[in-house]
Amino acid sequence: MIFGVFLLALFVSLPHESFAENQASTQAILDSASIYKEAMDYDKAIQVLESNPQILADTDSGNFLGRLYYLTSQNSKAIGVLSSLKNKNYLTYLYLGLVYEDLGNTQLAVNNYIASLRLQKNTIALYRLGKIYYKRKNYQKASHFFARVIALDSSIRLANFYLAECLLNTGNYEEAYTYSARGINFYPENPDIRKQLMEIKDKIGKTFFVETKKAIEKARELVNLMFYKREKNIPFVRVGLATDLTDFTFRCGGDFVISDSKQVFNGEKNKFYTIVLKEKRLYLKDYKSGVIYKKYNSPVTIKSDGYPFYVLDITYGETNFWHKRIDRIYRGDLRILIDGGITLINVISVEEYLYGVLPAEISPKADMEALKAQAVAARSIAIRSILNQRHKEKNFDVCADVHCQVYQGVSVEKDATNKAVNETRGEIIIYKKEPIEAVYHSNCGGCLRPDVFGKKDYYAHGFDSKKSFKPFSPYEEENWCTSYPESFCSHSKTANYRWQRVYDAEDFAFIFGYDLKDLQKIIAKEKGSCVSYKVLEIITSKEKTTLTGDLNIRNYFDNLRSSAFKIDVKFSADNVPKMLFFWGSGFGHGAGMCQDGAEYMADKGYTYQEILEHYYPHTEVLKRY
């Protein structure tokens, strides 16, 4: 507290300056400190701020210095600055919690983390609370906080491992299995998760898995595959459902035909069949008995006159936090190719394809104008992909995952999203008479990026609001990912808008496979717009790694929600890295249409044409068919 009183006294005794001069001077000081921090020269950033103590009465700048003290293990100074702030916010309490945890006073850490959460939900406070109780072996409380981490931000994949451990230790084996199975999807080679999963399986016993499999098989028999009227006289799209399969199992709601250039087989409705790849040929088998009906050469087509196909165990979102292996129902025809493994393709009309895209990409509960905007954008991507033969080398037009658009077939169709498709039938977005790459993302974090996929004139740039955009100053950049400025998409107070990650030394080794103490620097070699990175260099004691591009950066750091973030490295008193923090903004690449923003605009009375005009300027909507 003495340190805080000293700063305030200095502030009061400074000579008077004009408001404008003082404001400019303050901004220059904070910008200078922010530039040093970006370069991970925390000591120089601290020197700049300490030499100008008059600015530290403000909560944001006081938090900034307190944060720097914490990162350099100057804990008593951090407590002095943070405790003296009159208008404490969630960051103030969060950093007090981190400081007290670093000092070993876990009770004061817990108190401050909880105070932080009262003001703003954040995963750092939740995760550290989980770790504190986990280390105390209070697994009941620890599981409560790890479950809250996953509920707030399911992209924090490691929380599944700790939650499974807590549930295992409290005897809740079946629920523990759910989270451990997720963990093995995310980190299939990790020996700790493998060991955990084996232990949980042993505790549950074989009977549970036998009964579960029986229940699944019974439920599959009961799935009703209804007749539908097939679309005609509109473009068809070839959707790659899966590649590199060794086999797959399906049934059809009606009679169907499987054929290659020579062989034809008439399949029975509602009977399961399996197609297996063996010695470069495709074997059609009875799913239950294994009896072989036919042998085929690639390609093979499977056609039905108006009944959908039910395909088992389709994988999507592999390694991502939305990873699932699930049964799906598809309209249209199936096509099977051999390209190393089996490539399974769904041939379907564009409009029916969109029925299975929209509810997988946007909430069907959104206002109809937002759903229509989504339909037109998704259709534009499909038509452009067909024209440009996007996946020509794999003999299909679009994949069924996030690389193109998530497509999940009849299984996810909803009346509202089908209506949005029908009411915009044939409409696409064009620029200079060509369909555009109408990319979209979940949440831009309040700032739209035009430079992710190469600068295009038809991507909006700047704030996702009516406010005119001006470039961020270094200090504004520093604060962007920890604050919650108003924008069209800021109504989403979830981890879509602002997110955080924290790794202590234990977690870091688990995820990255080397010791945190070996990390030396993370250098921004090239920055993008909206507080994002284009090129990062990771320097360790053993090697130098250069990360280029949005997805490469996000995937390297354990599948971050976006490449728009700020990094903090917490050092010990002897300058050894102890913790790594990410403060992030938005979910997705940030280019094109922000879906959360579109939902807000629609709720406020904007039409779908106005929404599309906002996110794709200089374009027009054309009815193609």
Number of domains comprising the chain: 3
Is residue 475 within 8 A of residue 34, CB to CB? The reply is yes
In this structure, the chain runs to a length of 625
Tens digit of each residue's pLDDT (9 = 90 or more) over 545-565: 999 999 999 999 999 999 999
325 pLDDT tier (thresholds 50, 70, 90) = confident
Report the alpha-carbon distance of residue 193 to residue 206 in Å, rounded. Answer: 19
pLDDT, position 206 = 94
Sheet-wide strand order for 309-316: 292-296, 281-286, 273-278, 247-252, 309-316, 324-330
For residue 313, the surrounding DSSP H or E stretch is strand 309-316
Sheet-wide strand order for 236-245: 264-267, 256-259, 300-304, 333-339, 341-349, 236-245, 398-399
Within a domain: 218: no
State how far Cα 33 lies from the chain centre. 31
End-to-end CA distance of the chain: give it in Å, rounded.
Answer: 71
423 and 444 in a single domain? The answer is: no
pLDDT, position 3 = 36
pLDDT, position 118 = 97
* Closest-CA residue to 522 (of 471, 570, 481, 478): 570
416 and 460 in a single domain? The answer is: no
Tens digit of each residue's pLDDT (9 = 90 or more) over 99-131: 999 999 999 999 999 999 999 999 999 999 999
Report the alpha-carbon distance of residue 307 to residue 208 in Å, rounded. Answer: 35
319 pLDDT tier (thresholds 50, 70, 90) = low
Within a domain: 92: yes
* Closest-CA residue to 561 (of 496, 478, 489): 496
3 state SS of 236? strand
Within a domain: 180: no
Is residue 437 within 8 A of residue 456, CB to CB? The reply is yes
pLDDT, position 606 = 98
* Closest-CA residue to 320 (of 17, 34, 561): 561
Report the alpha-carbon distance of residue 555 to residue 562 in Å, rounded. Answer: 10
Report the alpha-carbon distance of residue 374 to residue 354 in Å, rounded. Answer: 10
pLDDT, position 5 = 35
Within a domain: 211: no
Within a domain: 470: yes
Q: Which of these three, 91, 120, 149, is where a domain ends?
A: 120
Tens digit of each residue's pLDDT (9 = 90 or more) over 129-169: 999 999 999 999 999 999 999 999 999 999 999 999 999 99
Q: What is the CATH number of the domain that holds 66?
A: 1.25.40.10
Least confident stretch, 55-59, 67-71, 331-335, 580-584: 55-59
428 and 447 in a single domain? The answer is: no
Tens digit of each residue's pLDDT (9 = 90 or more) over 166-203: 999 999 999 999 999 999 999 999 999 999 999 999 99
Give the pairing type, strands 593-594 and 620-623.
Answer: unpaired
pLDDT value at 471 more than 90: no
Is residue 250 within 8 A of residue 329, CB to CB? The reply is no
Tokens of 150: 């996953």
Within a domain: 128: no
- The identity of residue 135, as a single letter, is K
User: Mean pLDDT across the chain, nearest whole number?
Assistant: 93
Q: What is the mean pLDDT of residues 496-524?
A: 95
3 state SS of 319? coil
- The CA-atom distances, in angstroms, between 273 and each of 33, 121, 410, 599 are 66, 49, 20, 42
Interacting residues of 244 by C-beta distance below 8 A, sequence separation 6+: 340, 341, 342, 343
pLDDT value at 10 more than 80: no
431 and 507 in a single domain? The answer is: no
Tens digit of each residue's pLDDT (9 = 90 or more) over 16-37: 455 455 666 889 999 999 999 9
Within a domain: 226: no
Q: Hunting for tokens 């399974």 — which residue is that?
A: 344
Q: Which of these three, 370, 400, 435, is where a domain ends?
A: 435
Tens digit of each residue's pLDDT (9 = 90 or more) over 608-620: 999 999 999 999 9
231 pLDDT tier (thresholds 50, 70, 90) = confident
Q: Which of these three, 415, 435, 455, is where a domain ends?
A: 435
- The CA-atom distances, in angstroms, between 119 and each of 92, 339, 418, 568 are 10, 54, 40, 22
Is residue 93 within 8 A of residue 116, CB to CB? The reply is yes
Is residue 13 within 8 A of residue 454, CB to CB? The reply is no
DSSP bridge pairs for 300: 336
Q: Hunting for tokens 């079946």 — which residue is that?
A: 174
453 and 419 in a single domain? The answer is: no
Is residue 162 within 8 A of residue 142, CB to CB? The reply is yes
pLDDT, position 64 = 96
**DSSP per position, 75-112:** HHHHHHHHHH-SS--HHHHHHHHHHHHHTT-HHHHHHH
pLDDT, position 18 = 57
pLDDT, position 316 = 67
Q: For 405, which DSSP code?
A: -
378 and 504 in a single domain? The answer is: no
* Closest-CA residue to 67 (of 472, 482, 474, 445): 482
Report the alpha-carbon distance of residue 194 to residue 203 in Å, rounded. Answer: 14
Report the alpha-carbon distance of residue 284 to residue 298 in Å, rounded. Answer: 12
Q: What is the mean pLDDT of residues 238-244?
A: 95
Within a domain: 319: yes
550 and 422 in a single domain? The answer is: no
Q: What is the mean pLDDT of residues 407-416?
A: 96
pLDDT value at 12 more than 60: no
Is residue 17 within 8 A of residue 61, CB to CB? The reply is no
547 and 404 in a single domain? The answer is: no
Is residue 156 within 8 A of residue 149, CB to CB? The reply is yes
320 and 450 in a single domain? The answer is: no
The two counts, helices (H) then strands (E), for the chain are 21, 26
425 and 454 in a single domain? The answer is: no
For the chain, the 3-state helix, strand and coil shares in percent, each to the nearest 5, are: 45, 25, 35
Tokens of 380: 């534009």
State which of 55-69, 139-153, 318-332 shows the largest mean pLDDT: 139-153
pLDDT, position 15 = 44
497 and 511 in a single domain? The answer is: yes
482 is in which domain, residue-wise?
440-591
537 and 570 in a single domain? The answer is: yes
pLDDT, position 414 = 97
Report the alpha-carbon distance of residue 416 to residue 449 in Å, rounded. Answer: 30
pLDDT, position 23 = 65
Beta strands in 367-433 (DSSP E): 398-399, 427-431
Tokens of 427: 């409409």
Q: Hunting for tokens 């509960």 — which residue is that?
A: 365
Is residue 492 within 8 A of residue 443, CB to CB? The reply is yes
Report the alpha-carbon distance of residue 498 to residue 596 in Å, rounded. Answer: 13
Please tell me which residue, 321 or 539, carries the higher pLDDT value.
539
pLDDT, position 534 = 95
